[in-house]
Amino acid sequence: MKSNRSWRGTSPCPPEGFRKAPRDPSVRSPFAGVVGAHGYPPPVLLALDDAAVGQWYRAAVDALSESRGSLDDLNVYPVPDGDTGTNLLLTAQAAVAALDAAGEGSAEPVWVLLARGAVLGARGNSGTILAQLIRGLADSLAGRRPADGPAFAAALQQAAHIAYAAVAAPEEGTFLTVARAGALAAVAAVDEGRTGLADVVRAAADGARLALEATTGQLAVLRDAGVVDAGGAGLCVVLDALVTTVTGVEPARAPLARREEGARHAHRSGDVPHQPPPGPGSEVQYLLADTDEVAVARLQQRLAELGDSLVVVGVDTPSGREWNVHVHVVDVGAAIEAGIEAGRPHRVSVTPLAPVPAPAPTEGSRAVVAVVSSEALAELFVGEGVRVVHAAPGEVTEDAVLDEIVASSAREVAVLPNDAALVPIAGRAAARARDAGRDVGVVPTRSPVQGLAAVAVTDPGRRFADDVIAMAEAAAATRWAEVALAEQEALTTAGRCEPGDVLGSAEGDVVVIGSDLAGVACDLLDRLLSAGGEMATLVVGPDPALGDAVSRHLSVVHPTIEVIRYDGGPEDVPLQVGVE
């Protein structure tokens, strides 16, 4: 019989001649209990192929699931919200879910699938950094030959570098420190001639563990609580799962010290730099699509000014590049507004950093303030229970918006600027109102039809931050357009126009020029609805006949579209349109 003594395969399955011993519940490994026919040790992987990478992350999910409670208990940094283990587990599960969804016949490498799933499903600060680390590994290893020891060491070092770059204000004594130490230990092993994959992954896991033990002395908040960094501890769990996958033997580790009884589970803002401003705050996280690197760079700068714990991670998807944005802020509305300015935020989540039951809403405790440019629009919004600032374009002032916020006597106020040029003015007025003790969120509406869409979803029974998010999402989902008359000769994106021409514009850009109001309006709606939609909102100006013509067109050409019509729009704008 052929001996298996010298077998060194790259498959996670034991070769012929090995038998499966009873499962040892203390060992989490695809090789647990595997022994050779003649008592030889279990096989060791020489390289990480796609099958092994998948095995690793499934083992990581199992290990994080077992460790979740202890990791949550360690969590005191960046905020003591006790969810680091949960967030790491959810992120790893999202990575494996993407792998499972693609199936065995997928043409995309496992590394790419895992990275995409992790980034799009990342939760919390540590989860988002873990996703960036996976994405960094994928950048180096996806689509290439199975990674041996030197290749994996180099990729881990590059991934740790990329993870640092994703964090706006990296701190030492955290997940990042542990990741870098593990990578440096792996590279050092290769430099010393220990180039086997097993040697490299053991070095990475051991180096990370040593760095983890030192984190207690690197951050005052960890020292006060007597614990190591929870995110770094979670990374050690993931690296130990890799060792188990490659060698078949789970590393023996001393249990992590639990938080000392009576130790402070809170921050001292004087000891820990780059913390959120004192007072209530929230963790805001969303995916960002339809954007580019320049817009994301501006977003990062803006969010860094608004808050802390900022991590932005990008990943390629079949429909284009998407970004996972995570930040801790006091002004939730401003963080979402910044995302809307940069692209299309979706899957928005907001979690209080220090959970406090929201006070039950009372009559008059919440208000909505909208800026409008005509008496007709003012009547529309007032009819929806909204307070208005009525001023001609170019005449709206910060003081006028602030005065209306204060006059509402409401504890919580949402502001709808209804014009892109007025968003900064509304933002400054909101900041001044917050200084006076009001909770104010600016919903960055760029048109009255977006404002009406936002008002339609407001719910005083929701927590205020959630209500602002719902309003912002409704506004962002509303494509807006208008029909107007050209006042002078000009060169537009649709060509040259003459005074008196009918202009159809979408999102501020002229897309149709014609001579007939109804013809241009119908053409404009056809263009908007070619991208899909379920509902059209019409704000008809001084000519009701135009509204009749457009409504008839929609009923014939787009019979499935729900139409909401408001008459009595501004005198100088024949038609305003919103499509959701």
Q: What is the 3-state secondary structure (H, E, C) of 423-443?
A: HHHHHHHHHHHHHCCCEEEEC
Is 90 exceeded by the pLDDT of residue 392?
A: no
Domain boundaries, the chain: 50-247, 282-352, 366-476, 479-579
pLDDT for the residue numbered 539:
87
Query: What was the pLDDT predicted at 463?
Result: 86
Q: What are residue 233's phi and psi, to 5 degrees?
A: -65, -40
What was the pLDDT predicted at 81? 55
Quick one: fold of 366-476?
A: Rossmann fold (3.40.50)
CA distance 524 to 505: 8
Q: Is the domain defined by 50-247 classed in CATH 3.40.190.290?
A: no
**Amino acid 269: pLDDT:** 33
- Look at residue 389 and give its three-state secondary structure: strand
The architecture CATH gives domain 282-352: 2-Layer Sandwich (3.30)
C-alpha angle 469-475-478 in degrees, rounded to nearest 5: 140
The pLDDT score that the predictor gives to residue 354 is: 57
Each residue's pLDDT tens digit, 4-57: 322 333 333 333 333 333 333 333 333 333 343 334 455 578 999 999 999 999
**Mean local confidence (pLDDT), 313-326:** 89
What pLDDT is recorded for position 24?
Answer: 35
pLDDT value at 167 more than 60: yes
Query: How would CATH label the architecture of 479-579?
Result: 2-Layer Sandwich (3.30)
- On average, the pLDDT of the chain sits at 81
* pLDDT band, very low/low/confident/very high, at 464 (cuts 50, 70, 90): confident
Which DSSP state fits 411? Answer: S
Look at residue 277 in the predicted model and tell me its pLDDT. Answer: 39
How many Å is the maximal CA-CA distance in the chain? Answer: 95
> What would the mean pLDDT of 251-256 be, rounded to a whole number?
80
Report pLDDT for 569. 76
- Picking from 190, 199, 164, 196, the residue whose alpha carbon sits closest to that of residue 179 is 164
Give residue 42's pLDDT: 55
**DSSP 8-state assignment for residue 455:** H
Other residues' Cβ atoms within 10 Å of the Cβ of residue 30: 18
In this structure, which amino acid lies at residue 162? I
> What is the model's pLDDT at position 492?
85
Percent of the chain with pLDDT over 70: 85
Are 50-247 and 282-352 equal in CATH topology? no
Segment 406-424 mean pLDDT: 88
Q: SS3 string of 246-302?
A: HHCCCCCCCCCCCCCCCCCCCCCCCCCCCCCCCCCCEEEEEEEECCCHHHHHHHHHH
* Strand partners of residue 563: 536
Confidence at residue 328, expressed as pLDDT on a 0 to 100 scale: 87
Residue 380 has pLDDT above 50, yes or no: yes
Q: Using one digit for the tens of pLDDT, what is the confidence trace for 476-532?
A: 888 888 898 988 888 888 889 899 999 988 888 888 999 999 999 899 889 888 888
Cα angle 499, 504, 508; round to 5: 100
Q: Is the pLDDT of residue 276 over 90?
A: no
